[in-house]
A = this chain, B = another copy of it.
Amino acid sequence: MASTLTMHPDRLFSSNKIERDIARNLYQHVEKLPIVSPHGHTDPAWFAENKNFSNPTELLIHPDHYVFRMLYSQGVDLDQLGIPRKDGSHANADPEKAWQIFADHYHLFQGTPSRIWLDYVFVNTFNITEKLNSSTASHYYQVINDALQTEAFKPRSLFDRYNIEVIATTECATDNLKHHQKIKNSDWSGKVITAFRPDAVVDPEHEKFNAKLVQLSELTNLDCQEYSQYLDALRQRRLFFKEMGATSTDHGHPTAATANLSDEQASVLFQKVQDTPTASDAELFRAHMLVKMAEMSLDDGLVMQIHPGSHRNHNQQLFAHYGRDKGADIPANTEYVNALKPLLSKFGNNTDLSIILFTLDETVYSRELAPLAGHYPSLKLGPAWWFHDSPEGMMRFRRSVTETAGFYNTVGFNDDTRAFLSIPARHDVARRMDCTYLAELVARHMLDESEAVTLAKDLAYNLAKEAYKL
């Protein structure tokens, strides 16, 4: 049984008429603003090569761990979905059958942001007018698959159609950035920049740490097993990334720990962690390197993003068979006040430094992050992240943070996604939720509507540009 799929123009707004009407008005001012996407994980090859996407399953299911983790949680086999195994086995899943399984389980997404994003894509990108379910699955597959063969659905066409002003991808410090180079050299005007992600060369527990140091040495002609040359190599790579458009670095550490070691201590520790580091050696080295990265940011002006608190690859069997990023990263209790103190003692008062903090632990919004960002000039707060990139998550963020840190210690929205087609949907949700929050403040006489219009535009567009120097 098919039923009509539409996107209601008032979706996500409060159903209270007074607040809804204000939200509607605010939203009119931001709905069509260009998309600024300062942090995300789309594949630059898409925009460099501009090939057609292969099929609905590879485009909408395989890169979206939000989607397949839910299916997996209800007993769906990843092999049947065609999620690639590390060893290449079980790679023969039929994409259309995988799509059918997805459709059969689509009710699982009721109440989740994935449902909102996907429906938005179905309606706005593919003009589909029936809901996805078991009986419409093959219709969906065909419509989407047909569209994907056309010029209008190539990556650059979609980028332009989506009104993306700038998008940042994220590359490892040792990446050669050839796709970004190719985009730069092309006659296409789309702005696709990179972000400097040094985790693999900074985290001794990264499975490729030593191999990456070798690679770093080769790239820079420096001896990256030696501490001072290693730092020089990192400086060099940062400058290369900056030349290729990067305005930020990104640090995905297990905790927010920072440390100030002397050069001598750091040099000794660096030798140790190249051997067989203990967990505390590794933690201390990462902590120290976060401070060094801040120091380098003061030199080269790159904005520093810290994304701590994910317990990566929690499901060891899954990791063994399918590798990273398969929906098995689980948030952990994360502490910032003591963890960041060494960094803040050294550079926290510096108005030239810009550090954007993220969290997966919502308890720190009002207890730690808002008080820190509402005091230290170097700190700002990134938006509700990952599991909290959702209507309720965004509302909890604004409600917990604004009263202590205000709006101007926040940095607008990040979509943080690999799922390219969901980007307009995600920004739309963020804009609607910010309008919903602002409308409530107006309706309760805590803000004037004209102030709220300015704020809505700042939250949707200006703050991201300023905070990320775009």
Q: Which residues of A contact B (CB under 8 A)?
A: 3, 8, 10-16, 18-19, 69-70, 72-75, 107-113, 115-116, 311, 314-318, 327-328, 330-333, 335, 337-338, 341, 344-345, 348-349, 351, 360-363, 366-368, 370-377, 379, 387-388, 390-393, 399-400, 402-409, 440-441, 443-448, 450-451, 455
Contact between B112 and A403, CB atoms less than 8 A apart = yes
Closest chain B residue, CB of each to CB of A109: B406
User: How many copies altogether?
Assistant: 3
Contact between A404 and B375, CB atoms less than 8 A apart = no
Closest chain B residue, CB of each to CB of A454: B107
Contact between B377 and A69, CB atoms less than 8 A apart = no
Contact between A337 and B331, CB atoms less than 8 A apart = yes
Contact between B337 and A366, CB atoms less than 8 A apart = no
Closest CB of chain B to A426's CB: distance in Å?
13
A362 and B403 CA atoms in complex are apart in Å by 14
Contact between A12 and B444, CB atoms less than 8 A apart = yes
Contact between A311 and B337, CB atoms less than 8 A apart = yes
Contact between A367 and B333, CB atoms less than 8 A apart = yes
Residues of B within 8 A of A374 (CB): 69-70, 73
Contact between A404 and B112, CB atoms less than 8 A apart = yes
Residues of B within 8 A of A361 (CB): 367
Listed residue (A73, A108, A390) with the most chain B CB atoms within 10 angstroms of its CB: A73
20 residue pairs bridging A and B, Cβ less than 8 Å apart: A3-B448, A12-B444, A15-B440, A15-B444, A16-B18, A73-B379, A75-B377, A107-B408, A111-B406, A111-B447, A116-B446, A311-B337, A311-B338, A314-B375, A315-B345, A315-B348, A330-B375, A387-B403, A390-B404, A391-B446
Residues of B within 8 A of A391 (CB): 403, 446
9 smallest CB-CB distances across A and B, nearest first, come from A15-B443, A8-B445, A11-B445, A390-B403, A111-B402, A75-B351, A15-B18, A331-B367, A330-B371
A116 and B112 CA atoms in complex are apart in Å by 31
Closest CB of chain B to A431's CB: distance in Å?
15
A311 and B338 CA atoms in complex are apart in Å by 9
With contacts A15-B440, A108-B406, A392-B403 known, what are 15 further pairs, Cβ within 8 A?
A11-B445, A12-B444, A12-B446, A13-B444, A14-B444, A73-B374, A73-B377, A73-B409, A110-B407, A111-B407, A111-B447, A311-B338, A314-B341, A331-B367, A370-B387
Contact between A11 and B446, CB atoms less than 8 A apart = yes
Contact between A393 and B366, CB atoms less than 8 A apart = yes
Closest chain B residue, CB of each to CB of A390: B403
Closest CB of chain B to A443's CB: distance in Å?
4
Closest chain B residue, CB of each to CB of A404: B387
Residues of B within 8 A of A111 (CB): 402-403, 406-407, 441, 446-447
With A345-B316, A392-B403, A402-B111: A72-B377 Cβ-Cβ less than 8 Å: yes
Contact between A375 and B69, CB atoms less than 8 A apart = yes
Residues of B within 8 A of A344 (CB): 314-315
Contact between B335 and A333, CB atoms less than 8 A apart = yes
With A333-B367, A366-B362, A399-B392: A73-B376 Cβ-Cβ less than 8 Å: yes
Closest CB of chain B to A122's CB: distance in Å?
15
